[in-house]
Chains A and B, each alone.
Chain A
Amino acid sequence: MNGSARLWLLHAAVVALLVALNFLLPAYHHGLMARILVLATFAMGYNLTFGYGGLLSLGHAMFFAAGLYGAGLGIQHLGLGVPAAFLAGLACGAALALLAGLLALRTTGVAFMIVTLMFSQAFHLAILYFSAFTGGDQGLVLRPQQRRIETALGTLDLTDPTTRYLTALALFAVVLFAMLAIVRSGFGRVLVAIRENEERARMLGYDTFASRLAALVTSGTICAAAGAAYGLLFGYVGANFASVQYSILPLLWVLLGGAATTLGPLFGTVFMYYLIDIASGYTSAYMLAVGVILILLVLFFRKGLLGTLRERWLRWLP
């Protein structure tokens, strides 16, 4: 078996395991995993700019929220159906990423962090300011009848737990395989090269600004897809998803799972979610326990779970 087939099989096996969990998990964990799959998709989008592109953005909440509000407002005010609302969310995320990228990518390092943070904060405040349309900090609740897809074969009801889980998984799987294809493509190689040594990449004839912009727009679109799916699947469009907390969370998930690994974002998101879930079952000071465990991880698994695994044993992991 060659290396390429092995990789596709490994990723297919992970997806197959997640399909099996749909039938095995008790109701509580089933609901939690559906949420985690959508947020892991968000983390994969973040990983493209942060892990592979080497750009530490503090503004990705904006792209997630752009998808969330693009879809939510489309349904609420324009009466869009679910598929059209999803695409509207994607378009909002892509457009914002293009705009933000054209300005923010003129900077790097700390300046890039600040500029993306400012963009994101402005977006958050705009949502609060235009409360007549957005519901302000109350947000919008999408009614169950707004979350159905009528097809020739019957109605797809996104409020049904199984449909919800499998829809979340479908989105996750599409993005996972897309990421695998991207990072193994020539474009992925160029992105890593720019991260490692921008000047050298330029002297091989690469327009590094254009490559980074393409990465950011792809990343923003993936994050917006996660945001749109989140709103449509769970029925709530809230301003807190645009807050700085939701820019930092994907960074944590990716760091925990392993930056620049295809499966790291999934493992990081699952790990962090369950860490909080389990710790909060024992003590009200659960964030303290979470904090201690995160510090230990950073000390002993400097490159995240999968990053460390790759460094020590499985060098072939993408």
Chain B
Amino acid sequence: MNALLETRGLSRDFGGLRAVDRVDFSLMPGEIRALIGPNGAGKTTFVSLVCGRIEPSAGTIVFDGEDITALPAHRRVRLGIAYTFQITSVFSNLSVFDNVALAVQRTLADGRSQGRLRAGVIEALERVGLADRASLPAGQLAYGHQRLLEVAMGLALRPRLMVLDEPTQGLGDSEIENFIALAREIAASATVLLIEHNMDVVMQLAHRITVLEAGRVLAEGTPEAIRADEAVQRAYLGGGA
């Protein structure tokens, strides 16, 4: 089976700082991959390179067999790479419905079909449990619900690769439980790349884990292998996890 996403020698410098350093990474279709590492390890920079939000200094990115290194971000989204923002970034003055409609109407061949648009929006909102709040301005939602709206917008794009950047940050325990169930559901139709600090979430969800440190891949393997890895424990898990 061919990798859905593959990077070779991917690097990014900010001034003198090498935030991402020659990363070779590959992700199989259907996988849930967690990307972990200490703050400043380059996780968000790495996924931003994958999504096209920033340009790499060196290296190549291949998505589903196609070299996308030079593609602008919006073209990559159209190929099926969806990104949900680390800092909640919904359109707060627009209604919840309109937020998701923006994602749905792009995937419809005929964006003017009001019936199919509405159906698509409601379906995405039902999956995250926000259907009853469709007419509220997004800015009036509680924080946890804004995170869910962010996920709904990603879902509505019908992506092949869903990049979730710290989706559980700021959520309460029960909300995290719901999120884990939701992430499993997302994984049924898309490959998931998850940046996450909450190790419980990572251990429950991830098929494999990639550990970044100082811009490099420190280790990669199954949750059990990563938990047992001494280098990882020293760098990140503080020896006790």
Contacts from A to B (Cβ < 8 Å): 185-186, 189-190, 192-193, 196-197, 199-208
Contacts and interface: CB of A to CB of B under 8 A. Distances in A.
Contact of A189 (B73, B105, B153): B105
Contacts of A203: 51, 53, 73-74, 77, 82-83, 85
B8 interface: no
B111 A186 contact: yes
Contacts of A189: 94, 98, 101-102, 105
B233 interface: no
Contact of B74 (A185, A186, A207): A207
A204 B153 contact: yes
A208 B106 CA distance: 13
A200 B153 CA distance: 10
A185 B85 contact: no
Contacts of A185: 112
A196 B94 contact: yes
A199 B106 contact: no
A189 B108 CA distance: 15
29 contacts: A185-B112, A189-B94, A189-B98, A189-B102, A192-B94, A193-B91, A193-B94, A193-B102, A196-B91, A196-B92, A196-B93, A199-B53, A199-B89, A200-B85, A200-B90, A200-B91, A201-B102, A202-B73, A203-B51, A203-B53, A203-B83, A203-B85, A204-B77, A205-B74, A205-B77, A206-B102, A206-B106, A207-B74, A208-B74
Contact of B105 (A186, A207, A208): A186
A33 B92 CA distance: 39
A197 B106 contact: no
B220 to A, nearest CB: 27
A200 B89 contact: yes
Nearest to A4: B114
Contacts of A200: 85, 89-91
Given A190-B105, A202-B77, A206-B74, 16 more contacts: A186-B101, A189-B94, A190-B102, A192-B91, A192-B94, A193-B102, A196-B92, A197-B89, A199-B89, A201-B102, A203-B53, A203-B73, A204-B77, A204-B106, A205-B78, A207-B72
Contacts of A192: 91, 94
Interface string B10-23: 00000000000000
Contacts of B112: 185-186
A129 B38 CA distance: 65
Interface of chain A, main secondary structure: helix
B5 interface: no
Q: Which 8 A/B pairs are nearest by Cβ-Cβ distance?
A: A205-B77, A186-B111, A186-B105, A196-B91, A205-B78, A200-B89, A207-B74, A205-B106
Interface residues on B, range: 20 to 34
A25 B111 CA distance: 44
Contacts of A197: 89, 91
Contacts of B77: 202-205
Nearest to B89: A200
Interface in B30-68: 51, 53
A202 B102 CA distance: 11
B209 interface: no
B72 to A, nearest CB: 8
Given A186-B105, A196-B93, A197-B91, A202 B111 contact: no
B206 interface: no
Contacts of A208: 74
A201 B92 CA distance: 13
Contacts of B161: none
A207 B117 CA distance: 20
B157 interface: yes
Contacts of B102: 189-190, 193, 201, 204, 206
A2 to B, nearest CB: 11
Contacts of B101: 186, 189
A193 B105 CA distance: 13
A107 B222 CA distance: 47
B89 to A, nearest CB: 5
A86 B113 CA distance: 34
Contacts of B92: 196
B103 interface: yes
A273 B166 CA distance: 54
Contacts of B73: 202-203
